[in-house]
Amino acid sequence: MKTVSLTSGLMLIMVLWGGVLPFADRSSFTIHMIVHMGVVACAAPLIAVGLSGSRFDFPSRWPWFSPILASIIELVAVWVWHIPALRALSESSGVVASLEQVTFLFAGLMLWLSCLGGLETGREGRRLAGAVGLLFTSMHMTLLGALLALSPRALYGSADVTCFGIPLSPVVDQQAGGVIMLLVGAAVYLAGGVSLLATTLNTRPPETSERTGG
């Protein structure tokens, strides 16, 4: 299961970075958001599942690195890279675009691995912190996605773009990207947080099990 998850995550990264970005219109904010959400909300959790319990499971060695800290790091990474000036720089420079994508993957992987890995260092406490971290991430992605989708003016660029051959005006392009963040990013992090919270609440302490079992 872990091998399949890791392989699927890495293959998705290859498709996004090697298939979508080089051949799509990188000035399209919708394309940017498809790749962004594919990296942090799809590939990162798959890779994290595959790495959990391995020697790359850094929360096992660094129990102080909590999901709360990781969620704050991802918040900074996501919001900073969506500053209009940095978005324009990323669209015009391959080096900056590569740095942006690596930052997204690194931040997403840190968050998901801090939530799904290192459980032997404090299983229930880390699950609960992971639920809080993922729910907090869902909230700030919902906020950013809503701001982008509801903005009456374009924040990124002033020329028409194409998204997989479909022409889009700057405003519509931005709004479509915001909707993708709302539908994919916020939903995936919300589902992950609720799942961890439900697992924590449904897990009984060993003492309780012993007393009820006689």
Count of H-run helices and E-run strands, the chain: 11, 2
Look up tokens 């919902």; give the residue: 142
The per-residue pLDDT of the chain, averaged, comes to: 86
* 208-214 contacts, C-beta under 8 A, 24 or more apart: none
- pLDDT bucket at 72, cuts 50 / 70 / 90: very high
The model carries a pTM of 0.86
Summarize the confidence of residues 24-48 as an average pLDDT: 94
| Alpha carbon distance 169, 160 (integer Å) | 5
Q: Residue 210's pLDDT is what?
A: 44
Q: Residue 208's pLDDT is what?
A: 43
Domain boundaries in the chain? 2-204
For 214, residues 6+ apart whose C-beta sits below 8 A from its C-beta are none
pLDDT in tens, 113-161: 888 876 555 566 677 888 899 999 999 999 999 999 998 899 998 889 9
Q: Which two tokens stand for residue 30?
A: 């919708």
Task: Tell me the Cα Rg of the chain.
Answer: 19
